[in-house]
Each structure stands twice: as structure tokens, then as C-alpha cells.
Amino acid sequence: MHDKPAASPVHRAWAAGRGLLDGHTVPRRALDLLVPLICFALMLLDVPGLAEADNSLNSLTAAAVLALGASSLLLRRRFPWIPYVVALGLLGWLHELTLMQFALYKIGRYRGRAAAVLATLGYIVFAYVLFLLQRWPEKQADTLMEFLSLIVPIGVLAAGVGVAANRQDLVRELEVEKGRAAGLQAVQQERLSVARDVHDFVGRELTLLAVRAEVLAVRARGEAHQKDFDELSDTARKAHRILNEIIVQRAREKDATPGIDALAVLASEGERAGSPVVLDIDGRAGALSPLRQAAVYRVVQECLTNAVKHAPGQEVRVRICLDGGRLRIEVCNDLPSAVPAKEPVSAGTGTFSMGERVESMGGTLEAGHHDGKYRVVATLPAGV
């Protein structure tokens, strides 16, 4: 016979393990081994009582049996009912309750509330049958009330904690999925914006090409090159039509993206919002293609928006320069001296949008804290 097992050490040990897991300090495989070892260590406390009981076990064989029982927890993720069945066996043979606590927790954790309730009821009924058959040690419970006060709290508590952990896992997975969905939505929005810009700018050039080819075809009328100019005009119109079919149907936004000239307007809007803006723009930036200018505008716009939300009142410095064949956009601001009283409203997808636009044009984007400032640096081919 052995003394009444305590539930609290199990839950304290498991809480410590969960804390380590949440902190990403214990690899999953190590945790898979750690849980059975914790269970076995707790069951070893019962070995002296098992060795003294009338069950044909000595200290070594009792430890071996308990080790085999604890090892069933290695299957707890994919087959949590296996440790449960093993725990029922140990409960009927040795009246060992420790493994049952782990088993009920795992069923609640990996199979949810319905399975946890079913497993807990099965455990209570099984133990009650043992009590009625007088297969339960009198030292642990002499009366029915003593028996129930021992059996029921252990099962309900273990299963309840498991169900709570299951819900936490579901909430955590939902938050991850929501973040991923928001990121994908931001990427899609940016792709649509880029597609719209491609249509606006490339479509205009194709139209000019078609008109120019028609003019040349008229001038070359009666000459050998007239047919070539006509074909060139038809090709330009066909390309424009395909561009409309592929892009316009996917990008419904109406307004064209502004360019370098509109940065002064952005700066004035930022100053009205309480964040002074200093612009340092290379004079050669005005020669950038409309697509490059649209990329510059979108990156600066998002950076100024973030600065107003997360670092209100701090000066924002915007520098746009051309170095060889590369265009560099750098926006930085000091970090706020105090945490804002209210958390700013933010979807957290601005970096996705900026990165998608820059990368779609063969560039790179870096954003983060640097020397006490928040800095965003975008580098992409200048295309001039």
C-alpha cells in the first residue's frame, strides 16, 4: 500500500514545463522526453509503499513497472488514449493515480472537452467499481465519501487543466492564422496597387507607342516600311488590350499613385499631425520612371503614417538618393521617450505592403531599431 498521491506537484511541474515551452527554451523533442521523466519521478515516491504491498513486487520490479507506464506518455500527442488505458491498468493493479492525472490532462489537451469529460467519467466509474469490489486500499479511503474526495478532484482538475490548455492552443493558433491572413491580405492589396500602377504608366506608354506608329505609318504610306509601322501599331494596341484584360480586372482602384512631387504634401500632412518632416531629395530623383516614383511615394507614405502612430511628436527625416544604378530610400525617426497612453490602432501589415512593392521591383527592404531610432531603408534598381 502507498500514501495518497498529491495532485499539486504534478500541476506545478507541468506548469513549469509549459512556461519553458512558451518561452521557446525547450525543444519539442526534449519536452516529449521531459514529461514522462517527470511522471516517473513522481511515481517513484510510491515505490516504497508498492514494495511493501501484497502485489509480488519489490523495489526494482515496481520501479520497472512504473517506468513502463510512464513511457506510454511518449505517445500522448498522437494517441493520448494509450496512456489512459495504461493508467487504468495501473489503477486497478497498483492503485497508482499519478499516471492517470497526466493521461487525463493529455486527453483534454489534445482531444478537447468532450473527450476529457468521457475519460474522466470512465476513470471515476472504473475506480468506483474497484471500491465496491473492495479492491481499494483502506489506507487511502475507508468510506465512500473519503474515496470520492480523493478520486473526483484528481480527475476533474487534471482534465479541466487539459481542456483549458487545449483552448489556449486553439486561441494561439487562431491568432497566428489571423496574423498570416492579414499579411497575405496586405500583400494582395499591394500587388493590386502595383498592378494598377503598371497599368497607368505602362498603358500610357503603349498608347503613345501606338499613336506614334500610326503617324509613322501615315508618313510612310506607299513605302516599303508602311506595313511594318502598321504591324507595330497593331502590336502596341494588342498589348494595351491584354494589359487591360489581365490587370485592370484585378486592380479596381481609380486614382493613380502620386510621385516624387507629392512628397511635400505628405510632409505637410505629417507636420499637421504633430510630427515634423525633413525631406532630403536628390535632384536626379525627378527623372525616375513613374513606377519608381510610385514606389518611393508608397514607402514614404507608410513610414510617415507609422511615425505619427508610434512616435508622435518625433521628427521624421526622409532621404532619397541615387547612387550609381541604385535608388535608396531612408526614413528614420527617434523612438518615443514614453510609451503612449493608448495602444495605436494598427493592423501590423504596413511592412508587408512596403516589402512587397519594393521586392516586386527587384529591391530589398529593412526596417527596425538602430542606434535609438527606428529606421526603414529600401534599396532598389533606379531604372534610369
Each residue of 16-74: pLDDT tens digit? 555 554 544 456 777 778 888 888 888 888 787 776 665 677 778 888 888 898 898 88
pLDDT band, very low/low/confident/very high, at 257 (cuts 50, 70, 90): low
How is 187-210 classified by DSSP, letter by letter?
HHHHHHHHHHHHHHHHHHHHHHHH
Residues of the chain with pLDDT > 90, as a percent, come to 7
**Model confidence over 94-135: pLDDT tens digits?**
878 888 888 888 888 888 888 888 888 988 888 888 888 876
Give the model's pLDDT for residue 316: 92
What's the per-residue H, E or C state across 305-339?
HHHHHHCCCCCEEEEEEEECCEEEEEEEEECCCCC
Cell of residue 167, nine digits = 483552448
Q: Highest-confidence range of 38-52, 71-85, 130-144, 348-362, by mean pLDDT?
A: 71-85
pLDDT top residue among 331 and 184: 331
- CA–CA distance, 208 with 239 (Å, rounded to integer): 12
pLDDT band, very low/low/confident/very high, at 243 (cuts 50, 70, 90): low
pLDDT band, very low/low/confident/very high, at 1 (cuts 50, 70, 90): very low
Give the model's pLDDT for residue 331: 93
Identify the weakest region by mean pLDDT among 62-71, 250-259, 286-295.
250-259
Q: What Rg, from alpha-carbon coordinates, does the chain have?
A: 35
pLDDT band, very low/low/confident/very high, at 347 (cuts 50, 70, 90): very low
pLDDT top residue among 198 and 335: 335
Identify the weakest region by mean pLDDT among 52-56, 177-181, 203-207, 284-288.
52-56
3-state secondary structure of 251: coil
What would the mean pLDDT of 278-296 be, rounded to a whole number?
86
**Model confidence over 159-184: pLDDT tens digits?**
888 888 778 777 777 787 777 777 77
Nearest to 76 by CA among 99, 107, 97: 107
Whether residue 286 has pLDDT greater than 80: yes
Whether residue 4 has pLDDT greater than 50: no
- CA–CA distance, 208 with 159 (Å, rounded to integer): 73
What would the mean pLDDT of 236-252 be, rounded to a whole number?
62
Nearest to 316 by CA among 325, 308, 324: 308
pLDDT band, very low/low/confident/very high, at 350 (cuts 50, 70, 90): low
User: Is residue 66 within 8 Å of 96, Cβ to Cβ?
Assistant: yes
pLDDT top residue among 37 and 290: 37
